Structure 1
Amino acid sequence: MSTLNLIAIRDGALAGEGNGNFYSPAKEKAANRGAYSCRWPILRRLRHPIGAVKFKTLLIVSVLCSVILFSPKIGSLMGWNSDDASSVSSPTRGRYTVLINTWKRNSLLKQSVAHYALCRGTDAIHVVWSERDPPSVDLRAYLEKLVLSKSEKAHKPNFRFDINQEDNLNNRFKPIEELRTDAVFSVDDDVIVPCATLDFANTVWQTAPSMMVGFVPRMHWLAEETNGVEYYNYGGWWSVWWTGTYSMVLSKAAFFHRKYLDIYTYKMPTSIRDYVTRERNCEDIAMSLLVANATGAPPIWVKGKIYEIGSSGISSLKSHSHKRNKCLNDFISLYGAVPLVSTNVKAVDARYEWFW
């Protein structure tokens, strides 16, 4: 298993909360966040009166109590059950499902499927197909044969198309029937992540399965406030590079828990999905906001080289930046607060770092 190392890249400021009447957990968390900010200073103040020896003893006892309380068997007697406890003994634990979003780029799809079939952690490959005409018999047969021939492990990945007749970006987050893994790696058909890098990112995700873990960081910041109304800017890669801060990882190359497929489709406000349908954009921002709202925590950016083998897409359009800003602010107004949490930490594989 790869060694995980978290590196703070630079100091970054948290963005402020927005205003609105739409209830969300993010709004409640934002109001209460300051209540816990002094717990570590209190712990430091306690250490001096009771002495170093007593402090260590108290700390050890506290840790042991926590282990007993949160162990699965004892925890169940206390009325607590982990949502992910069923995955502990799962035969697919440590594996992931590759969810490839494609649209009329069969040549890129073939390259992408061939690559991810090679990765040892791949349990299944699902292709999100959103064209009026279904994939041809020849394409199906070619890709199925490709997966079997490229995979060198005893466990051959399952392969299937998830067919949608409507061209809609929400399709990429539809729940998947008979999904065997908790980990879902969402990726565009023109993005290639080397297998070693992908497997390392999976080990990072396993340590924090409720969070998004990905390779394409983005950020937001408060641009202006007029008459009590806050306006935020959406920052691309160069903004992340300049400030050392990010608050999103895009779903074009990111891990998340399969439960978010259900939440996105059935529990997220329909107004957000309708917005994505109408604008044909920003489903990745919507997913980042959803996960941040559910966890109250930032995503994790994994250091790793990825390759984009395509040359066209929504992001290449001139109006892309303006639309992303508008999406971000429209979504925030629906939440009534800013769910996104900024961070300046990224995960690196310490085996390949000279200094860590």
Structure 2
Amino acid sequence: MSTSVQIRDAGIAADAVDGFNSPAKQKAASRSAYGNRPLLSLRRAKQFLGAAKFKLFLALFALSAVVLITARLSSWMGWHLHNPSSVTSRASYTVLINTWRQKSLLKQTVAHYASCRSADAMHVVWTESEQPSERLKTYLNKIVVSKSQKAHKQNFRFDITADYESNSRFRPIKDLKTDAIFSVDDNVIVPCSTLDFAFSVWQSAPSTMVGFVPRMHWLDKEQNNVAYYRYGGWWSVWWMGTYSMVLSKAAFFHRKYLDLYTQEMSPSIQGYVSRERTCEDIAMSFLVSNATGAPPIWVKGKIYEIGASGISRLRGHSPRRNRCLNDLISLYKTSPLVLTNVKAVSARNEWLW
């Protein structure tokens, strides 16, 4: 019994050796393993490509959503991408200074804006009955040449009118080389770096007004089916967190609005502004908002008023502004002003976005 068992065990051992460790079977098994590797690699490649396609699809979907939202926002704000074809007219701006019997302030203002690199030209709106003296002209021309920071010197000149007329501030200017107009009072200084940032904002929204002095309006009361609006100054803007105008005492706008103001705006409105004398800045805000249907853009930045206090601090200023606002709404038969709470801020000067 023991002998036969041993033989059977030996036979089983022999079969095991023959079945699993024979060279022929090892070679066949090796071929089978190598033959399956391409199939396994192909399967893994398909799985990887499937995941990659899905990720690519998600990325393209997210990018499309961002582009769509940006386009809608740009359309609502009136913002447009910069057009390289108009580099010559869009790369710089013209400074339009409104002055009235303040020669010492005018000298300081001209000297400052002559040092701003992006300023291509400077025009002084002169509405005094007495013509500017040759001495003053020569002095200011020398200042422009000496203060200029670039080889191309600014084109400097006076735009003279016969008498004091509020609408003269926005008369068309011949031979302009820029689309952008920076309208500024003779007692307002905006640092060149701040001005450059505001100019870049205007370049993205050339149809609207971009400025540093926001103002607002609101419906105060209504009596006998007649609405009455209030004009709000800086503290109203700060308290309410909204605005509907930026004043032309420090603001960019397209030169086409000079033509629209003088040639297209209703003569009744021009006559009213001429009589009121301190209403032309509100009238310009009405004109631009009526043309675009969009709000202006307020740029956050420090500006400095030099010299004596402005007319905004004179007695009776607030009632006159209220009257101007309501009379213009009556002449337009509606209020074209659009309220907004958007503010342009340079990220370089802010800790938090």
State the TM-score, normalizing by the size of structure 2.
0.77
CA offset digits 1:242-277 (Å, max 9, x no partner): 111110000000000000000000111111111111
* Residues 226 and 161 of structure 1: CA distance in aligned 2, closer, same or farther (over 3 Å): same
Q: How does 1:191-210 map to 2 (within 5 A)?
A: 191-210=188-207
Equivalences for residues 128-167 of structure 1 within 5 A: 128-167=125-164
Q: Which amino acid aligns with 1:166?
A: D
Structure 1 residues 87 and 337, CA gap change in structure 2 (3 angstroms): farther
* Cα separation, 2, equivalents of 1:240 and 1:58: 37
The counterpart of 1:346, out of the listed 343, 346, 352, is 343
Matching residue within 244, 249, 256 for 1:247: 244
**Counterparts in 2 of 1:164-179, with a 5 A limit?**
164-179=161-176
Matches within 5 A, 1:46-195: 60=64, 88-195=85-192
Opposite residue 149 of structure 2, the aligned amino acid is E
Distance 1:274 1:220, change over 3 A: same
Structure 1 counterpart of 2:148, which letter? S
- Asked if residue 326 in structure 1 is aligned to residue 323 in structure 2, the reply is yes
What's the % identity of the aligned pairs? 68
Amino acid at match of 1:269: S
Report the equivalent of 2:35.
Answer: none
Q: Which has the larger radius of gyration?
A: 2
CA deviation profile, 1:200-233 (whole Å, cap 9, x unmatched): 0000000000000000000000000112211100
Aligned to 1:301: 298
1:327 and 1:61, CA in 2 relative to 1: closer, same or farther beyond 3 A?
Answer: closer
Residue in 1 aligned with 2:311? 314
What letter corresponds to residue 280 of structure 2 in structure 1? E
Counterpart of 1:88, as a letter, is: S
Q: CA deviation at 1:236?
A: 0.3
Q: Which runs of 5+ in 2 are unaligned?
A: 1-56, 72-80
Structure 1 moving runs of 4+ over 6 Å: 61-64, 84-87
- Partner residue, 1:337: 334
For residues 62 and 211 of structure 2, the distance between their equivalents in structure 1, rounded to whole angstroms, comes to: 38
Deviation at 1:322, TM superposition (A): 0.2
- Please give the alpha-carbon distance, in whole angstroms, between the structure 2 residues aligned to 1:141 and 1:307: 26
Q: Secondary structure at the match of 2:345?
A: strand
**Residues in 1 aligned to 2:149 and 2:199: alpha-carbon distance in whole angstroms:** 19
Structure-2 change in CA distance of 1:62 and 1:207 (3 Å): closer
User: 1:91 Cα deviation (Å)?
Assistant: 2.3
Q: Secondary structure at the match of 1:125?
A: strand
Structure number with greater CO (CA < 8 Å, separation at least 6) is 1
| Secondary structure of the structure 2 residue equivalent to 1:179 | coil
Q: Equivalent residue for 1:20? A: none
Deviation at 1:93, TM superposition (A): 2.4
Question: Quick one: which amino acid aligns to residue 271 of structure 2?
Answer: D
2-side partners of 1:277 and 1:90: how far apart? 37
Distance 1:148 1:337, change over 3 A: same
Q: Could you tell me which runs of 5 or more consecutive residues in structure 1 were left unpaired when the two chains were aligned.
A: 1-52, 68-83
* Rounded Cα–Cα distance in structure 2 between residues aligned with 1:131 and 1:311: 19
1:105 shift after superposition? 0.5
Cα 1:309–1:61, aligned 2, differ >3 Å: closer, same or farther? closer
Residue 196 of structure 2 aligns to a residue whose secondary structure is: helix
Structure ranking higher in helix proportion: 2
The equivalent residue for 1:31 is none
Tell me the SS of whatever aligns to 1:91: helix
For residue 310 of structure 1, report the CA deviation from its aligned partner. Answer: 2.2
State the distance in 2 between where 1:163 and 1:129 align. 5
Give the Cα–Cα distance (whole angstroms) in 1 for the partners of residues 192 and 320 of structure 2: 33
Residue equivalent to 1:266: 263
- For 1:354 and 1:63, how far apart are their aligned partners in 2? 27
Contact 1:87 1:182 in 2 (8 A): no
Q: Is the 8 A contact 1:92 1:123 kept in 2?
A: no
Letter in 2 for 1:263: L
Find the aligned partners of 2:66 and 2:157 in 1 and give their Cα distance.
49
Distance 1:355 1:59 in 2: 25
Inter-partner Cα distance in structure 2 for 1:87 and 1:134: 41
| Structure 2 residue 239 is the aligned partner of structure 1 residue 277 | no
Distance 2:58 2:87 in 1: 42
Asked if 1 retains the 8 angstrom alpha-carbon contact of 2:82 and 2:204, the reply is no
The CA RMSD over aligned residues, in Å, is: 2.5
TM-score, scaled to structure 1? 0.77
Q: How many residues align?
A: 289
Q: Which moved more, 1:332-341 or 1:115-124?
A: 332-341
How far does residue 312 in structure 1 lie from its aligned partner after superposition? 3.8
Structure 2 SS opposite 1:88: helix
Question: How far apart, in 2, do the equivalents of 1:200 and 1:62 lie?
Answer: 25
